[in-house]
Amino acid sequence: MRRATLVVVCVTTAMLMLDIAVVNTALPSIAVDLDAGMTSLQWVVDAYTLALATVVLSAGSWADRRGRRQVFVVGLILFTTASVVCAIAPNILTLDVARALQGLGGAVLFACSLALLADVFAPGKDRAGALAAYGATIGGAFALGPLAGGMLTEWLDWRAIFVVNLPIGILALWATMTWVPESRDPDFRRLDIGGQVFASIGLATLVLALLRGNEHGWTETITVASFAIAIVCSAAFVAVEMRVTQPMLPLEMFRNRAFTGAQIAAFAISVSLFSVFLYTTIYLQSVLGMSPIEAGLVYLPATAAMFVVAGGTAQLGQRVPAWILLCGSLLLVGVGLAMTTVADVDSSKWTILPGMLVAMIGAGIFNPVMSGLVLDASAAEHSGLAAGINDAFRQTGIAVGVAALGALLPAEAAFSGMDPHAYVAGLDKALWVSAGLATVGAVIAALTLRGHRASGDDVSATSAELVNSADGQPRI
């Protein structure tokens, strides 16, 4: 039963992560086929991550209340169905909407995955091994994703990257219903409708403002109004979370600097490395003229290194303090992204590989360590909420990062009439900003997480601090 649960969680996670990686490689082909510009392509990524980021908190609480396996099944059905809609999308608007539906399904699956593992693997060696497999799955998906996306796009069609989710989703659904045990939180939380509404509108309008401003102007009425709505909704979200009995994001937890530092670190790696990945892929195909397969091969050594490193890091986390591992991993990401700024219009296709290799090694260290922190800092019955909070910060980082970094690049279409020199100049700025964000995240990790380990019983005192909310009931 434990092994079956691990397999189901890893296969499903691989499907989710592959769907991110393969889409990046297929974007140039999608742009040509559906006559889409840069902003529309950014929404292919952001529609997914926005839906995931804004719903994953409620999904985690829902899973704790209704049963993790039951909710996991709902997520599988929604994600697989949305994948079919993506595959048959006749235009870019339909594709963007279907990607949002995928994000909703992905939010449920992400929120349940670590909670399912926490239910069947006790803290210690067994859980560390499960996290090693989980981290290796994330790394492996990114290792195979760009090449797999390139092969499917070039040999078949970009729609094939979504079709492959159908058999995987069906098999995962059958395995879940057959082998995965049910678990739930006996002290379930009510749905925070006000917080959900304000969080969704606030984040969506922020991303809209960033994308709209770059394309149409920062003083345009819609741009200014979107920023204003985002600010008002953010303030309203905080007010609701401070007053509601059972908030979707208990703000009291952020009084603990270790908890806050972990979420900032998760945001930092997403807003930097995993956001700029989209623009380096466009550079490879639209500036250097590579095919989808060639672009995938360029990434393969770096993403393969991420896979190998992730597989061995969870065990290391039992001996090395978490703050050292997280700080070191983010510094590697920052250094790697800075190295990638050597890319130019006339560069070799392998020019960005050394920098990407260093950055991906950092990501390989980061993922299992962060997963260990999330589980160790939560009681098992509240692990759905814990995983949801962490995933919300990760996906928010990608959504905001794609939009914000895109503001540094030319607003004109990236695939017709593009000025390659202007694009490379913008990419250079985006890489330097990303490197700076990762470095800031490393500093914050060092200041806030010092003294805590990634796995084991050493965090029990910290867990006790994190589980208490304003009404004295355990939250996480």
Indicate the pTM of the whole model: 0.77
How confident is the model over 54-87, as pLDDT tens digits? Answer: 787 777 777 777 788 888 999 999 999 999 999 9
- The residues with which 468 forms a beta bridge, in sequence order, are 474
How confident is the model over 374-386, as pLDDT tens digits? Answer: 655 554 445 556 6
> If you average pLDDT over residues 377-402, what whole number do you get?
70
pLDDT of residue 381: 47
- From the CB of residue 307, how many other CB atoms can be counted at a distance below 10 Å? 20
pLDDT band, very low/low/confident/very high, at 458 (cuts 50, 70, 90): very low
**pLDDT beyond 50 at 471:** no
Which residue would you say has higher pLDDT here, 467 or 405? 405
Nearest to 168 by CA among 100, 84, 69: 84
> If you average pLDDT over residues 395-421, what whole number do you get?
76
pLDDT of residue 383: 54
How confident is the model over 98-118, as pLDDT tens digits? Answer: 999 998 898 888 878 877 887
The region that residue 208 occupies, defined by phi over 0 for left and psi between -120 and 50 for alpha, beta otherwise, is alpha
**pLDDT beyond 50 at 475:** no
Question: Which tokens sit at 87?
Answer: 């595959």
How confident is the model over 308-361, as pLDDT tens digits? Answer: 787 666 566 567 777 788 899 999 999 999 999 998 888 888 889 999 999 988
Question: Which tokens sit at 214?
Answer: 């770059």
pLDDT of residue 459: 34
pLDDT of residue 287: 86
Which residue would you say has higher pLDDT here, 28 or 232? 232
User: How far is the C-alpha of 33 from the C-alpha of 99, rounded, in Å?
Assistant: 17
Per the prediction, the chain carries an average pLDDT of: 80
